[in-house]
Amino acid sequence: MTNKLLIIAAGGTGGHMFPAQALAEEMLNRGWRVNLSTDARGARYAGGFPKAVAIEVVSAGTFSRGGFVAKLLVPFRILAGGLSAWIHMRKDPPAVVAGFGGYPALPAMLAAIMIKVPRLVHEQNGVLGRVNQLLARRVNKVAFGIWPAELPRNVEGVFTGNPVRTAILDRGCSVYIAPGDWPMSVLAMGGSQGSRILSQIIPAAMALLPQNMKNQLRVAQQARKEDYDDTVAAYVAAGVVADVQPFFDDLPSRMSECQLVITRSGASSVADVSTIGRPSILIPLGVAIRDEQTINAKGLANAGAAIVINENELTAEVLAGHIQTILSDKEKAMQMAAAALSQAKPEAARDLADLVSGLVKE
């Protein structure tokens, strides 16, 4: 008998793809087959998926990018992608289709609606994204990674937490080496696509730290390719040792070995920091339409695990002050690390997988 098939529909950014990857790993361990339905852009973020996951690239589009003609073609691209996904599903019917948001998820979810396959969506943030909001009343279950969540009228949500990849779980509860009179590591991230403002402000903040602290620092900073040269030059001018890369393949290892994380408060980043248990400075994305990153940051902030700086208040001086406060206070840093662990939900992938399996029985 052929193993049951789960189709995961996701794309756009690592924020959608990382929890999708975590669910894929869990379902494969349960003996399911898993396919990923995404567009060409989303496929670029699928490198971490297990090799057993077949990737189906479909046409999709978004109204948030491109000129007038490109936006005019978006509905046709989505319909073409939906037809392609429908053909795939007719040839190899899935038991369940799970959407993780982003426009690349739409074609497969539309196809699942057409052929009445059991389906769910998982929203990583505390506010439904556009695609998941569109689908919320047309799926069997709506799972959330952040709670409490804002829900459309007459839609019930299930709190599962945000699934984290096996590589993160394997580093869960890693021993925290508190800052002190020894080499200290800081991990700086701007989300899966980097962030120009963080590439500018973080090196500038490091330059303002006391010389004895700068001598001990080792910074790992994620920066976009177009910002790479300027970021490297800024660290050289600051006299701080830094490893600058567009993307860290070994992020779980770097996070488990660092004394402080400076990052956007994307849902996956918050889940990773909580699971491994590290003090953090969170800088919510200022242009987020629903301000979801501010909501994402509340759990860690309220627990005393993170300092939150609004983007419109972010300066090198403000950031440097918070970095110095954490890295010069061993007890405070240890308390923040423990508080971060208190917000972790390492069983999120298991709970979401149970939700998927339950749909087959309904």
CATH 3.40.50.2000 fits 184-342, yes or no: yes
List residues bridging with 220 in a β-sheet: 187, 243
The average confidence (pLDDT) of the chain is: 91
pLDDT band at 69 (very low <50, low <70, confident <90, very high): low
pLDDT at 74: 62
Residue 189: strand, helix, or coil: strand
Same-fold call for 5-163+346-361 versus 184-342: yes
Nearest CA to 297 out of 329, 316, 273 is that of: 273
Instruction: Identify the architecture of domain 5-163+346-361 in CATH.
Output: 3-Layer(aba) Sandwich (3.40)
Domain locations along the chain: 5-163+346-361, 184-342
| Residue range 190-225, pLDDT digits in tens | 865 558 899 999 999 999 999 999 999 999 999 999
Q: What is the pLDDT of residues 94-109, one digit of tens each?
A: 999 999 998 899 999 9
The pLDDT, as a whole number, for residue 16 is 86
Closest CA to 219 of 73, 126, 319: 319
DSSP labels, 79-144: HHHHHHHHHHHHHS--SEEEE-SSGGGHHHHHHHHHTT--EEEEESSSB--HHHHHHGGGSSEEEE
Instruction: Give the pLDDT band (50/70/90) at residue 77.
Output: confident
Instruction: Calculate mean pLDDT across residues 347-351.
Output: 97
Q: Nearest Cα to 297, choosing from 328, 337, 264, 257?
A: 264
CA distance 267 to 264: 9
